[in-house]
Amino acid sequence: MALRIDNLCIDASDPRVLGEWWAELLGWKVADAGEDEFSIQSPDDGRELLFCRVPERKGVKNRLHLDLRPDDQAAEVARAEKMGARRVDVGQGEQTWVVLADPEGNEFCILSPL
Half-sphere exposure of residue 107, counting CA atoms within 13 Å on the CB side? 18
Pairing type for strands 7-12 and 48-53 reads parallel
- pLDDT, tens digit, 9 for 90 and up, residues 17-63: 999 999 999 999 999 999 999 999 999 998 999 999 999 988 888 88
Direct distance between the N- and C-terminal alpha carbons of the chain, in angstroms, rounded to an integer:
31
> Are residues 72 and 40 part of one domain?
no
Does residue 70 lie within any of the structural domains?
Answer: yes
What band does 90 get if pLDDT is binned at 50, 70 and 90?
Answer: confident
- 111 and 70 in contact (C-beta within 8 Å)? yes
Phi/psi at 52 (5° precision): -115, 130
Provide the pLDDT for residue 31. Answer: 95
Query: What's the CATH code of the domain at 32?
Result: 3.10.180.10
Whole-prediction pTM:
0.92
Does residue 29 lie within any of the structural domains?
Answer: yes
- Using CA of residue 64, residue 95, residue 102, residue 78, what is the dihedral sign? negative
Using CA atoms, how far apart are residues 114 and 84, in angstroms rounded to an integer? Answer: 26
> Are residues 51 and 4 part of one domain?
yes
Is the pLDDT at 1 greater than 80? The verdict is no
Does residue 60 lie within any of the structural domains?
Answer: no
Number of structural domains found in the chain: 2
The residue segments making up the domain with residue 110 are 65-114
